[in-house]
Amino acid sequence: MMYFLFKIYLISVFAGLINSKSEDKTSIPPNIFIYISDDQNQWDYGAYGNPEVSTSAADKLAIEGIKFNNAYTSQAICSPSRSQLFTGLYPVKNGCMANHLPVKNVKEINNFLQPLGYEVVLAGKVHIYPSKKFKWSQFFGKEKSRQIPLDKVEKYIENTDKPYCIIFSSDYPHGPYPKETPYLDMDLSYDPTTVEGKGQNSTFKAGYYQNIKDNNIQLEKTITMLSSLNVLDNGVFFYLSDHSLKGKWSVKETGLKIPLIVRWPKIIKKGIASNQIVSVIDILPTIIDIAGGKSNGLDGKSFLSILKGKEKPIKDYVYGVATRQNIQKCYVFPSRSVRDKKFKYIKNFNSSEVVQNNLGDNQEVNKFIIRGSNAFKETPYEELYDLENDPYEHNNIALIHSYQKIKEKLEVKLHDWMVEQGDFLITHKMPLIKPTFHPLDRISKFNKIDSSFESTLESKDYIPVHY
């Protein structure tokens, strides 16, 4: 009898050890993969309805995971969008409110994940400043061929024994675009953003589609490499574009709306779609949540609950920023936007309706303010769109009386957010941003200004900035 009881005891102890080990395994946070495409419209994917271009790798991720139909960046330009991803903060608050500007002294992805035991690896395009601010565990720059150095990433995975977050940052489909491509001989008229649902064929579009195809090949290679190392199915894979191309630089849906697909076989059901509003700023809090940390103090909100199948909103509003300074053409024409699940409100702060209110005593500064306003003469001060019925903003209803309460509500939301963010449009009349790459008063192939404008601005003409 005693022997029998002792035997049962040993079995129970052994079973407990097995269960304990099993629990330990499941409690280990997963490896995280983030793949960023550069300059690709949401509608230029098969998964989002495009029948003309090859995006089989991203489409397969959507079949095997979750596709977000209402995913946004807050600024449709490279550096600001990446700044949101890496800080979980809107671009005005993190400091990168124009292209090429550095982020402020704020916490970034490495500061959050490395204390949780993760190594953070960036492979490919950087386009975030200052480089010394981002303490990557490993950095593998893009190759001369514009390719992500997957061989170096593979070697890293083979030799590390730590959990990791690897960011694959593609240089595609961003230009330059090839002039010779089979797409030149194809019908490329699909464009749901137009009233007719069709666009025009062009050499530009053919080259853009070719770069999409090349990016698809690179994504396929990335997925194949991770699968061959037996790490793909045990991790969570985020796929997104930094912003859309057609509305680049603007706060229009054609600029801010992005693809976002997440694959996580252990958690996410296959082939589902979410209509909840999410933003690039929400990705870092979600990753921190997955890694077992806390994301206090960030603008973004974790959407881990949505990944787990709870189709409940994590936020009611997303916001948009456009400065149009420190980029090609360099117009002083800042805009801000806010959208809820149905409506979108835009305020263009230097429209022709209000430009006179933006002028001060400095005549040299005034010239650039007027130039910026003149470049968008047909753009009104306020815009309001019913995105359910007008998803690509063709019918401005801001002046229709029956929508005034909706407009006023969103205007208040936008103003309060700008105050909370410390937006320079709240504190300054119509500021010029000190350039780091594209000066307002320099003639270049990107900035065609009258010779009388050249070299007319001084340091004191710009707003104080943090760099």
pLDDT tens digits in sequence order for the chain, 467 residues long: 444 444 444 444 444 444 443 334 446 889 999 999 999 999 999 999 999 999 999 999 999 999 999 999 999 999 999 999 999 999 999 999 999 999 999 999 999 999 999 999 999 999 999 989 999 999 999 999 999 999 999 999 999 999 999 999 999 999 999 999 999 999 999 999 999 999 999 999 999 999 999 999 999 999 999 999 999 999 999 999 999 999 999 999 999 999 999 999 999 999 999 999 999 999 999 999 999 999 999 999 999 999 999 989 999 999 999 999 999 889 999 999 999 999 999 999 999 999 999 999 999 999 999 999 999 999 999 999 999 999 999 999 999 999 999 999 999 999 999 999 999 999 999 999 999 989 999 999 889 899 999 999 999 999 988 88
Q: What pLDDT, on a 0 to 100 scale, did the predictor assign at position 4?
A: 46
> What per-residue confidence (pLDDT) applies to 241?
98
Length of the chain: 467
All CATH 3.30.1120.10 domain ranges in the chain, comma separated: 331-461
Given this model, what pLDDT does residue 27 score?
65
Measured CA to CA, the distance from residue 179 to residue 209 in angstroms comes to 11
Helix 56-64 × helix 203-228 angle, to 10°: 50
CA distance 133 to 139: 13
Classify the C-alpha dihedral 382-388-391-394 as positive or negative: negative
CB-count burial class (<10 Å; 0-12, 13-18, 19+) for 324: buried
- The residues carrying an active-site annotation are 78
**CATH code of the domain occupying 29-315:** 3.40.720.10
User: 109 is written with which tokens?
Assistant: 């992805």
* Per-residue H/E/C for the chain: CHHHHHHHHHHHHHHHHHHHHHHHHHHCCCCEEEEEEECCCCCCCHHHCCCCCCCHHHHHHHHHCEEEEEEECCCCCHHHHHHHHHHCCCHHHHCCCCCCCCCCCCCCHHHHHHHHCCEEEEEECCCCCCHHHCCCCEEEECCCCCCCCHHHHHHHHHHCCCCEEEEEEEEEECCCCCCCCHHHHCCCCECCCCCCCECCCCHHHHHHHHHHHHHHHHHHHHHHHHHHCCCCCCCEEEEEECCCCCCCCCCCHHHHEEEEEEECCCCCCCCEEEEEEEEHHHHHHHHHHHHCCCCCCCCCCCCHHHHCCCCCCCCCCEEEEECCCCCCCCCCCCEEEEECCCEEEEEECCCCCCHHHHCCCCHHHHHHHHHHHHCCCCCCCEEEEECCCCCCCCCCCCCCHHHHHHHHHHHHHHHHHHHHHCCHHHHCCCCCCCCCCCCCCCCCCCCCCCHHHCCCCCHHHCCCCCC
Q: Which amino acid is at 388?
A: E
Q: Mind spelling out the 3-state secondary structure of 451-462?
A: HHHCCCCCHHHC
Structure tokens at 124: 């490919």
What residue spans in the chain does CATH classification 3.40.720.10 cover? 29-315
Class for domain 331-461, per CATH?
alpha beta
